[in-house]
Amino acid sequence: MTHPTPLYLDNAATSYPKPDAVYASVIKYMRENGASPGRGNYARALEADRLVYEARKAIASLLGAPRPSQVIFTCNATESINIALKGYLRQGDRVLTTGYEHNAVARPLKKLEDQRRIQVDRVPCTAEGALDMESVKAKLQDGVRLLAVSHASNVIGCVTPLEELVAAAHERGAAVLADAAQTAGAYPVDVTAVPVDMLAFTGHKGLLGPTGTGGLYLRKGLELSTLKEGGTGGMSLSPFPPDDPPDRYEAGTMNISGIAGLRASAQYLLDIGVDAVRAHEARLSGLLLDGLESVPKLTCYGPRSAENRIGLVSFNIEGHDPHKVSMRLDRDYGIMVRSGLHCAPEAHRLLGTAPIGAVRASIGYFNQPSDIERFVGALGEIASLPPD
């Protein structure tokens, strides 16, 4: 059986669909402008400058950043996290992190353990992602220079208590890097109210922009070593990168067509409000959690309440391989979800689901309650099948 209309529930990987203005803006830039910003002096190049600035301004506004120049554009959150970790950490530094980080954080840290002899410690947490705050405070006493945490887990769905963590870290002299890959655009983020030192985001998930876009917010005055050096369009006689952000970190021609789309998606989110997105997704998450409870033999991971989680739920059905569940959903019901380890093996170890992983359904702003009903119905039918 092939379902007539496809149902996309893999928004934690990348959001789909995008607002119509995103497609239109990418095409408009590519067809009608096509120039490189920050370099030429002809009218179209200056228009491209303006376009990139407006994108930066819209993102700064969504994140609560005081100035657009504090937003550095990158290709994705992974690049942003690499810039942050490799630009900030020095030989022998101590880093504190969680036990549910994505490989975007875990792998650069692992490399720096080898290359710069940094010491990485992890905060104990429950299978629902609740951190032991007393342990956080105790570990921070130990000369930790950076606390690197996901704002929300891409497997467990838990939201990290960022405000409490930032206060504890700053009190003890540690800086904070937040990985907002799963939250920016879909869950309120405010770097002024919760003064993280660095915040990495991607443009193609909750921000509803094209793939190949992302960025890093940097606290004013924080200067990192550069990960890459090259042309920035100005000060070309100097053999060194410029001192000031964002140019310092943006060597090479950027993904302007992607940024054109990101500008449109950021403006879309500013118009409807991230709080409205969050409310919609929380409502659907609640329906999903309730619906999954009715499916026999299904184990749901992460916080029980939709209030304490982002719009994704990981689960397994007893006796059924998660990859096969995912394949059946696609083949027989037209429903797209992601199975496996979700690039976050540490989170799956915490859940006890490594090495096989779990099925993850992730909601987007354009999903509706009827989508949840259809998904839960399909799972009920799969659960009633004989075990694999």
Partner 1 sequence: MFLASIEVLDVDICVQLADKFVARTRASADLKEIMPYLNGMFRSSVYNHGDGSIRFTNDGIEYTIINDQVNIAKFSNRTELYELLDWLKDLINDTYESRSEMTPLYARRKPVPVFFIYNLLPKTNCQRCGERTCMAFAARVNKLEAGIDACPLLFEPEYDASRSKLEGALG
Q: Which is nearer to partner 1, 234 or 369 (CB)?
A: 234
Q: Interface with partner 1 includes 235 (CB under 8 A)? A: yes
One residue of 143, 234, 296, 319 binding partner 1 per CB under 8 A: 234
Instruction: For residue 355, say if its preceding peptide bond is cis, omega within 30 degrees of 0.
Output: yes
Q: Which is nearer to partner 1, 209 or 246 (CB)?
A: 246
Binding region for partner 1 (CB under 8 A) out of 52-60, 105-113, 158-166, 176-184: 52-60
Q: How far is the CB of 247 from partner 1 (least distance, A)?
A: 5
Secondary structure, 3-state, the chain: CCCCCCEECECCCCCCCCCHHHHHHHHHHHHHCCCCCCCCCCHHHHHHHHHHHHHHHHHHHHHCCCCHHHEEEECCHHHHHHHHHHHHCCCCCEEEECCCCCHHHHHHHHHHHHHCCCEEEECCECCCCCECHHHHHHHHCCCCCEEEEECECCCCCEECCHHHHHHHHHHCCCEEEEECCCCCCCCCCCCCCCCCCEEEEECCCCCCCCCCCEEEEECCCCCCCCCCCCCCCCCCCCCCCCCCCCHHHCCCCCCHHHHHHHHHHHHHHHHHCHHHHHHHHHHHHHHHHHHHHCCCCEEECCCCCHHHECCEEEEEECCCCHHHHHHHHHHHHCEECEEECCCCHHHHHHHCCCCCCEEEEECCCCCCHHHHHHHHHHHHHHHCCCCC
One residue of 24, 67, 117, 142 binding partner 1 per CB under 8 A: 67
Q: Which is nearer to partner 1, 37 or 364 (CB)?
A: 37
Q: Which is nearer to partner 1, 250 or 346 (CB)?
A: 250
Residues 240-259 that bind partner 1 (CB under 8 A): 242-244, 246-247
Q: Which is nearer to partner 1, 241 or 303 (CB)?
A: 241
Which residues are within 8 A (CB) of 305 and not within 5 positions of it... i.e. 6 or more apart? Answer: 289
Q: How far is the CB of 244 from partner 1 (least distance, A)?
A: 4
One residue of 91, 134, 221, 237 binding partner 1 per CB under 8 A: 237
Q: Interface with partner 1 includes 57 (CB under 8 A)? A: yes
One residue of 24, 46, 270, 272 binding partner 1 per CB under 8 A: 46
Alpha-carbon gap, residue 116 to 109, rounded angstroms: 10
Q: Catalytic site residue 343?
A: yes
Binding pattern for the stretch 203-232 against partner 1, x by CB under 8 A and - elsewhere: -----------------------------x
Binding region for partner 1 (CB under 8 A) out of 95-103, 237-245, 303-311, 377-385: 237-245
Q: Interface with partner 1 includes 286 (CB under 8 A)? A: no
Residues 340-379 that bind partner 1 (CB under 8 A): none
Q: How far is the CB of 241 from partner 1 (least distance, A)?
A: 11
Q: How far is the CB of 221 from partner 1 (least distance, A)?
A: 14
Q: How far is the CB of 27 from partner 1 (least distance, A)?
A: 24
Instruction: For residue 242, say if its preceding peptide bond is cis, omega within 30 degrees of 0.
Output: no
From 75, 125, 300, 343, the catalytic residue: 343
Q: Where on the chain is the footprint of partner 1 (CB under 8 A)? A: 37-38, 41, 46, 49-50, 52-53, 56-57, 67-69, 232-235, 237-238, 242-244, 246-247
Q: Which residues are catalytic?
A: 343
